[in-house]
Amino acid sequence: MIRPFPSLGLLDRVLRVLFPGVLFLLLNGCSSVSYYSQLASGQLQLLRAREPVAKVIADPNRDATLRAHLAQSQKARDFASQHLHLPDNQSYRLYADIHRPYVVWNVFATPEFSLSPQNHCFPIAGCVAYRGYYSQSAARGEAAIQRLQGMDVSIGGVEAYSTLGWFNDPILNSMMGWGDERLATLIFHELGHQRFYVKDDTEFNESYATFVEQEGTRQWRAFRGLPPENDAQLKRRDQFIQLILDTRARLEKLYTQQIPIEQMRERKTAEFERFRRDYREMRNSQWAGDKRYDAWVNAPLNNARLLPFGLYDQWVPAFAALFRQVGGDWQKFYAQVEKLGGLPADKRKTALRELAALRSD
């Protein structure tokens, strides 16, 4: 059932009153007025572009493909609340065309010999391992500055993000490019963030939301009477991620060694070349030559390019083990996730390691 929408015009007027105050809070004591200004401006523009999905679907003058995708999205949106017990609100019952392929571009940066991300802290979201820009050129400018300071840098386009319930997040045109199922997975992932979020722990938050996305998608396919995702493709994805995580582990060990800088650089380069060799061997011997990851592997590699894999995937096996422990009961799962999130950071990580060790082969 589609609930009646509050007047978006009224909401816009309220936001025009509130945003200067929010921006003041963001800028109070912060070093970069321009950065936080673009955050506030970009978010406001996004909110002003929203319109009810039901209105778009009902409009015969709108693009037929768009209307069909949005109609399917609302079935997934209903499933998210009714079966996955994710928040039942107006998020993803609105649509916004922002006229670009990504909503933001995230800039990841690490020191040359470290896999520790350069964190950035915000009043609502806490500390995260990237800086987001609503303009690709602005992201590239920030990346150039970081490179001049000797950092390893990577830029990644983002299709969607969650405001953690502060606003009703819309479906964006940037979420529509990969088909109905991909759109459903994005909705599950972002609603997972709305359901629970821990400040200052990107690995926990993203791994948890990734698990919700993956398990939610599996159940969504079963609900529609579809077969499971292609096992071979899922296995290849997991193998590829593990290859990256193994490379991260070797680099982390390397960076603890007390050796001359030039030797460290040579060994770092050698580790990335080993990763490429291992990938090609796995692709040719086990994947029948499937080249879906070739472009990523053959692009320039550095520490920052490996960051999203550690952030988004590191604890997925732990959350999968936790889901099994509670018998696949979503309500019990969220309750246990909240308990984990309430632990001090060191104890939380210990608990996640113990859960991950329970992963069945």
Interval 9-31 mean pLDDT: 42
- Residue 268 domain flag: yes
- Return the pLDDT at 56: 98
- Residue 206 domain flag: yes
- Pairwise CA distance, residues 194 & 204, whole Å: 14
- Return the pLDDT at 7: 45
Question: Do 112 and 64 share a structural domain?
Answer: yes
- pLDDT digits over 275-333, tens only? 999 999 999 999 998 999 999 999 999 999 999 887 788 899 999 999 999 999 999 99
- Return the pLDDT at 12: 37
Q: Between 202-223 and 303-313, two packed helices, what is the crossing angle to 10 degrees?
A: 60
Concatenated DSSP letters of 85-132: ----SSTTSEEE--SSS-SEEEEEEE-TT------EEETTTEEESSEE
Kindly state the tokens that stand for 4: 């009646």
Examine the pLDDT at 108 and tell me if it is beyond 50: yes
Examine the pLDDT at 137 and tell me if it is beyond 80: yes
Domain boundary residue, one of 223, 239, 261:
223
Distances (CA, A) of 135 to 39, 42, 147: 10, 9, 19
- Return the pLDDT at 71: 97
Lowest-pLDDT range of 241-245, 253-257, 260-264? 241-245
- Pairwise CA distance, residues 348 & 150, whole Å: 33
Among residues 99, 17, 84, 38, the alpha carbon closest in space to that of 331 is found at: 84
- Residue 1 domain flag: no
Examine the pLDDT at 27 and tell me if it is beyond 70: no
Among residues 111, 119, 118, 116, the alpha carbon closest in space to that of 150 is found at: 111
CA dihedral 155, 203, 232, 73 (to 10 degrees): -80
Which residues, in sequence order, are CB contacts of 22 under 8 Å at separation 6+?
Answer: 40
Question: Do 277 and 235 share a structural domain?
Answer: yes
What is the pTM (predicted TM-score) of this model?
Answer: 0.84
Question: Do 272 and 191 share a structural domain?
Answer: no
- Return the pLDDT at 359: 66
Lowest-pLDDT range of 20-29, 258-267, 336-345? 20-29
Query: In the chain, how many domains are there?
Result: 2
- Return the pLDDT at 24: 40
- Return the pLDDT at 126: 81
Examine the pLDDT at 148 and tell me if it is beyond 60: yes
Examine the pLDDT at 14 and tell me if it is beyond 50: no
Domain boundary residue, one of 206, 223, 240:
223
- Pairwise CA distance, residues 24 & 34, whole Å: 12
Kindly state the tokens that stand for 262: 């030039």
Residues 50, 173: contact at Cβ < 8 Å?
no
- Return the pLDDT at 134: 96
Among residues 340, 311, 342, 346, the alpha carbon closest in space to that of 326 is found at: 340
Q: What are phi and psi of 68, to 5 degrees?
A: -65, -45
Question: Do 157 and 79 share a structural domain?
Answer: yes
Q: Return the SS3 of 183.
A: helix
Question: Do 259 and 183 share a structural domain?
Answer: no
Tell me 260's DSSP state.
-
Question: Do 176 and 203 share a structural domain?
Answer: yes
Question: Do 239 and 274 share a structural domain?
Answer: yes
Domain boundary residue, one of 223, 246, 270:
223
- pLDDT digits over 195-222, tens only? 999 998 989 999 999 999 999 999 999 9
For residue 170, give its domain range: 8-223
Kindly state the tokens that stand for 31: 């070093």
